[in-house]
Amino acid sequence: MADIRQSAAVTPSEPQPRRIGVLGGTFDPVHIGHLRSALEVAGSLELDELRLTPSARPPHRGTPQVSAVDRLAMVECAVAGIAPLVVDARELQRDKPSYTIDTLELMRAELAADDQLFLLLGWDAFCGLPTWHRWEELLQHCHILVLQRPDADSEPPDALRNLLAARSVSDPLALKGPSGQIAFVWQTPLAVSATQIRQLLASGKSVRFLVPDAVLAYIDAHGLYRASN
């Protein structure tokens, strides 16, 4: 008698949509504030991957103090072995300004249609969106997660208020579909900045515990951010 279990059709399980986060920045240098924010978001939203994406020539900021090669190396040191954080170096491979819309278009083209893409932005960066290149198109490719610190009390510009009214979702875990919505994610306040770290290093002071040990070792080995540079 034939084994019924063998004759029954096996229905393969449908692959679940992937959840990919993107955190861009100059990372000049990468520090614990970047990494803590990334880990908190990755954990709370159960991301499959969170890509730290160093920018080469950011249109809205001054030229980074150290080279793209050094900034990329420091980010690679910082996330080594820390899942689901990974490094995406595509913006450093372009010979033009780092427009976020271009990066998102490329990433979206590489993903399945129902994969979710999340762009992480600090509150200040979010408020500056109306000055970004093709900013109105961002939500065609991703959801936006605004990293809101408890001490942030400024209001968004008028250009964003209608967008927030139409697209915001109160619960980040309720974001549906591959793109198109905005949610706020509360962050642990860490009073640390890359500017502060560069100033400390330039004056010969320690930045231990403000950057990962591997990043500090790289900075020391290459003499980065010293007053003579």
Section 45-67 average pLDDT: 88
Cis amide leading into 29 (omega within 30)? yes
pLDDT at 190 over 70: yes
Of 12-21, 25-34, 198-207, where does mean pLDDT reach its minimum? 12-21
Q: H-helix or E-strand containing 107? A: helix 100-110
Return the amino acid letter for 94. R
pLDDT band at 13 (very low <50, low <70, confident <90, very high): low
Cβ neighbours of 106 (radius 10 Å): 14
- Rounded to the nearest 10°, the torsion over CA 185, 16, 115, 121 is 10
Rounded CA-CA distance 74/31 in Å is: 9
| C-alpha count within 13 angstroms, C-beta hemisphere, residue 135 | 12
Rounded CA-CA distance 14/10 in Å is: 12
For residues 5 and 32, the answer to whether their CB atoms sit within 8 Å is: no
Domain 19-189 has CATH 3.30.1540.10: no
Q: Where are the domains of the chain?
A: 19-189
Cβ neighbours of 133 (radius 10 Å): 14
Rounded CA-CA distance 149/186 in Å is: 6
pLDDT of residue 153: 66
